[in-house]
Amino acid sequence: MAIYVKPRSNNIFLLPIILFVLFCLICSSSESEAITNNVGITADLIHGDSPLSPFYDPSLTRFQRVTNALRHSLARRRSIRSNNSKSSPPEVSLTPVSGFYLMKMQVGDPPIELMGIADTGSDLMWTQCAPCSRCYKQKTPIFDPKKSKTYDTVSCKSQECQSLRFEHPSCENTTNGCRYELYYASRAYTSGDLATETFIFDQNLAFSKIVFGCGHKNYGGSLGTSSGIVGLGGGPVSIIRQLKKYYSIDAKISYCLPHPNSNVSSKINFGSNAVVTGPKVMSTPLVKKEHDTFHYVTFEGISVGNNKLAFKSKESRKTVEEGNMFIDTGSTYTYLTTDFYFKFLFALDKALNGTPTANPEGGFQVCYEKPANGKFNSPTITAHFRGGVDLVLSPDATFVEVNKGVVCLAMLPDFSNDLVLGNSQMINYLIGIDLENQKVDFLPTNDCTNPN
């Protein structure tokens, strides 16, 4: 049975305390201790290519998964670049074929399971809903709002509807309900009703009146078989902001991304569970920009071994633009500006003893032959961020084997000014995005199942 938590009223958040007292009266001491030790929110996080994933396709080789991840990452980046203007936020491509992470939770009463893509580059959380005028196939059951006791539509005049500035809100003529429409790259889209529902996370914590998109018309050519999207951006309708607004839960998340080929899942945490602590924690400031969806940080350069390369903005070769990179769990690979990328490659080539070769599948810019002994010795590559943050990148994630005997650099060039920190370069770190204190914390770890 889930423990239901209702939204706060008149700025007084007493119900969780009452629930806690009642729970202690009816449960054993060990059970009550478990609840008090989990005052935040936690959900399962798993890579879509992991054998533990419901989307795992055993017929694909590991090389095919790398190629699929590259195609997804390139499509997403093209979409961000083409839509990144002052009049509208970047619209991103979400291609759950490979290279993404899934977040598991439940929705409705009675609840059904959702497996949505955890995406720091989106705000609105949405899932496919019955009846479907057009829906794609998904692994988990499609949510039917008529079967849920807690489903309700959102009024067109509501504050939540008005906040959908870039989701193309409109009014449903007969009910005056709020409708949304979201377009992604590769012709993927979703449209339907803006609604509220009960969402259940780990520890059976249920939160009512969470705003989400109930999609009745969805095209899923690039959405695979996922349930939809879990928006982890900084905008007003993201799940992070809603938990803060309606439940006074700190606007913080933390996650640790396991390696795609691992047989482990990890956790994504919200609120007090998302605090990242320890003597090795490194922190860099979040930078506010015009569009609040993306989590921007300031990238200062990269080191190849002991050779440090400083990054300078295109507008001024003497300074670093604040907030020049955003953290994107939906992109597999990291993107650098073209001029800096080739400067980095020159330093990398000098430090490597590898034999350059072409990737037979195309896409990656720089590839090398893998030695006969099976060990590709890469120099230590470190990314530098404002505040003295030095991220030593995982060799296994920085150079990926794309074909038998061929390894390629999992970092790519881009002509736009925005740089992207992709999820491959976040592997082996517990990352905390703290919107309360406007910072991002990084804690190195070799075990995502127990990162602290």
In 234-297, beta strands by DSSP E: 252-256, 266-270, 282-285, 296-297
pLDDT at 30: 36
Active-site residue flag, 328:
yes
Catalytic residue among 49, 123, 193, 328: 328
Q: Say how many CA atoms lie within 13 Å of 31 toward its Cβ.
A: 12
pLDDT at 362 over 60: yes
Q: How far is CA 262 from the centre of its chain?
A: 18
Q: Which of 262, 278, 117, 254 is nearest to 190 (CA)?
A: 117
Quote the CA–CA distance of 279 and 17 in Å, as a whole number. Answer: 33
pLDDT at 33 over 80: no
Least confident among 55-64, 365-374, 409-418, 432-441? 55-64
Phi and psi of 59, rounded to 5°? -75, -15
Residue 193 has which token pair?
């009703």
Least confident among 81-95, 174-188, 394-408? 81-95
Name the more confident of 6 and 43: 43
Write the DSSP symbol of residue 406: E
Most confident listed range (209-223, 231-245, 312-326) = 231-245
Tens of pLDDT along 260-286?
Answer: 777 778 899 999 999 999 999 999 999
Average pLDDT of the chain is 81
Answer for the pair 128, 115: CB distance below 8 angstroms, yes or no. Answer: no
Give how far Cα 443 sits from Cα of 36, 261, 279, 364, Å. Answer: 25, 21, 9, 29
- What would the mean pLDDT of 244-261 be, rounded to a whole number? 90
Tens of pLDDT along 188-215?
Answer: 688 999 999 999 988 788 999 999 999 9
- Per the listing, tokens 């939770």 go with 105
Query: b/e map of 316-340 (b: 16 or more CB within 10 Å)?
Result: eeeeebebbbbbbbbbbbbbbbeeb
pLDDT at 7: 63
- Per the listing, tokens 């230590």 go with 380
2 C-beta neighbours (distance < 10 Å), count: 15
Answer for the pair 46, 226: CB distance below 8 angstroms, yes or no. Answer: no
- What would the mean pLDDT of 392-412 be, rounded to a whole number? 87
Least confident among 77-86, 232-241, 321-330, 332-341? 77-86
Residue 242 has which token pair?
């809603």
Tens of pLDDT along 13-29?
Answer: 444 444 443 444 333 33
* Domains of the chain, CATH where assigned: 40-80+93-267 (2.40.70.10), 276-444 (2.40.70.10)
Length of the chain: 452
pLDDT at 367 over 60: yes
* Confidence label for 95 from pLDDT (cuts 50, 70 and 90): very low
pLDDT at 198: 97
pLDDT over 70, % of the chain: 78
* Confidence label for 70 from pLDDT (cuts 50, 70 and 90): low
Sign for the pseudo-dihedral over CA of 11, 17, 19, 22 = negative
Q: In what order do the strands lie in the sheet with 367-369?
A: 356-357, 367-369, 406-409, 399-403
Quote the CA–CA distance of 240 and 171 in Å, as a whole number. Answer: 26
Q: Before 395, cis peptide (omega within 30)?
A: no
Active-site residue flag, 123:
no
pLDDT at 221: 57
* Confidence label for 167 from pLDDT (cuts 50, 70 and 90): confident
Tens of pLDDT along 285-326?
Answer: 999 988 889 999 999 999 999 999 999 876 556 678 899 999
Quote the CA–CA distance of 346 and 377 in Å, as a whole number. Answer: 17
Query: b/e map of 107-133 (b: 16 or more CB within 10 Å)?
Result: bbbebbebbbbbbbbbbbbbbbbeeee
Strand, coil or helix: what is 196? strand
Single-letter amino acid, residue 410: A
Least confident among 93-97, 211-215, 353-357? 93-97
pLDDT at 35: 34
Give how far Cα 163 sits from Cα of 217, 235, 313, 389, Å. Answer: 21, 9, 33, 34
pLDDT at 63: 67
Write the DSSP symbol of residue 387: T
* Confidence label for 149 from pLDDT (cuts 50, 70 and 90): very high
Name the more confident of 174 and 223: 174
- What would the mean pLDDT of 28-54 be, rounded to a whole number? 60
Residue 332 has which token pair?
């597999």
Catalytic residue among 49, 119, 193, 434: 119
| pTM for the whole structure | 0.85
